[in-house]
Structure 1
Amino acid sequence: MAGDDPGEREAGENESGNAGLAAITALGEPTRRSLYGYVAGHGGWVSRDEAAAAAGLERGTAAHHLERLAAEGLLEVDYQRRSGRQGPGAGRPAKLYRRARREFEVSLPPRDYALAGRLLAEAADRARQDDVDISTALEDAARTEGSHLAAQVRAQLRGLTSRRPANRRGAVLDVLDDHGFEPRTAEDGTVVLRNCPFHQLARRHTELICGMNLCLLDAAIGDVGRTGLEASLEPEEGLCCVKLRPSR
């Protein structure tokens, strides 16, 4: 969820939820998995010709699979002239691939313990440096993360001609679903989050983790504004501890 740009993710950062599942699913195709294994084992940049020769494929077939792997974030792409020549007559740069530094995790139901760990680490650092209570520091870190979540919602709203509360709510639910909360709207308008991305931690450290989750979701909804929803801490067995209630 991190980053001011909702589409931005630092190299080496963990990818989970729907994006991680899509990436891992791409490796279900045997030829694609074989190509990924070759590129990953090579350790450097690999051309389409090299990958095709290693896998015994036509160049076009190899290119198709390499592009799919790149689109899912499993490979990085660069353009280089491998002849070493420059200027006119040097030829077009070759498209090269290497294993991405991004990490992928898949769990069903979706979990995001990496996010919880990062927020807890940020809170511990701030508590130590600024001599503040760690619960307060964790709430602040969670609210900052909620603002990043709101940025993703606003990115979805940019293409809409109308930003009525119903559209804002829809965008919020889409983003929450992307992050594994599995939102469902009840007849009274309450949004029930059927999955907790921090489930095991919340079971063992309920007050701390559920408080973090409440702050994260409250900040996300508050920063989006005019959703007609408010976050409420209402623990219930088998569900996320937070419900999104219609605003009074």
Structure 2
Amino acid sequence: MRRPPWTRRVTAIASLGDEKRRQLFQLVASSDTAVGRDDAADALGLPRSTASFHLDKLVQDGLLAVEFHKSAGRTGPGSGRPAKMYRPAANEVNASVPDRNYDLAGELLAVAIEHSTSTGEAVGDSLRMTSYRKGRELAAGAGSLTEFMAGEGYDPRPDGEGGLVLANCPFHRLSDGHPGVVCAMNGSFLRGAAAACGEPEDCVAPNSVQGQCCARIAGRGAPS
């Protein structure tokens, strides 16, 4: 499953900068059961319309989810209709500036270690295989390799020679400390993505320019 776009994730985090919205999120997140609009409004001393607006904005931003329940003990008009209730969203939301993806790195490393432990295959070989497969999986159905890399935070930019430089490394901090491991993982991941997008795998070439990703996309006919 791919992450939501970076702008959406940043917007979701920024949404909690509003004090009322943050209080409502904390109220729902700390509750053992789903919370209704009336209960949320009463707990924070807010008008129901204000609580409803901010709760629905938190749903829109992917921080809360909605479910419907009939309210116990409620009587009068409309009492038979299920009430809109809020609970924390199942998926976490994280964002960094610049965009990083340490969750993906952690997943690739964990799967590779599990595979190595169960099969006896060298960890490095397991990591390259795991990364390649994940690249193919995530890029399946992408409009293009460029579009896929942009969505994953690589910030691809034309290099003036028919290829692309990747101005951002999603694994920057890890690659600084462990370049051999992380760059091999990254290269395999991108080769898998290239294959899924119908591009030759050898278009993924090394890049040694400081401040950029360790890989680049060579243009057709350009040396790799």
Give the TM-score, by structure 2 length.
0.86
Match of 1:112 among 81, 97, 101: 101
List gaps (5 residues or longer) in structure 2.
none
Q: Is the 8 A contact 2:158 2:165 kept in 1?
A: yes
Q: Larger deviation: 15-24 or 175-184? A: 15-24
* Alignment of structure 1 residues 153-232 onto 2, 5 Å: 153=142, 157=143, 168=144, 172-225=145-198, 230-232=203-205
Paired residues in the alignment total: 218
Q: What is the distance in 2 between the residues matched to 1:124 and 1:71?
A: 37
Q: What is the distance in 2 between the residues matched to 1:229 and 1:135?
A: 20
Q: What is the distance in 2 between the residues matched to 1:21 and 1:238?
A: 23
Aligned Cα RMSD in Å? 2.5
Match of 1:52 among 32, 38, 41: 41
Q: Is the 8 A contact 1:139 1:212 kept in 2?
A: yes
Q: Is the 8 A contact 1:47 1:97 kept in 2?
A: yes
Q: Residue in 1 aligned with 2:214? A: 241
* Post-superposition offset of 1:43: 3.1
* Post-superposition offset of 1:123: 0.7
* Post-superposition offset of 1:90: 6.2
Q: Point out which structure has higher relative CO (alpha carbons under 8 A, 6+ apart).
A: 1
Q: Residue in 2 aligned with 1:27? A: 16
Residues 41 and 179 (structure 1), Cα distance of their counterparts in 2 relative to 1, 3 Å cut: same
Q: What is the distance in 2 between the residues matched to 1:175 and 1:66?
A: 32
* Post-superposition offset of 1:105: 2.8
Give the TM-score, by structure 1 length.
0.79
> 1:223 is aligned with what amino acid?
A
* Post-superposition offset of 1:16: 9.0
* Post-superposition offset of 1:41: 2.5
Q: What is the distance in 2 between the residues matched to 1:129 and 1:143?
A: 19
SS in 1 for 2:140: helix
* Post-superposition offset of 1:61: 2.5
Deviations 1:146-183 (A, max 9, x none): 01221251xxx4xxxxxxxxxx3xxx333322322122
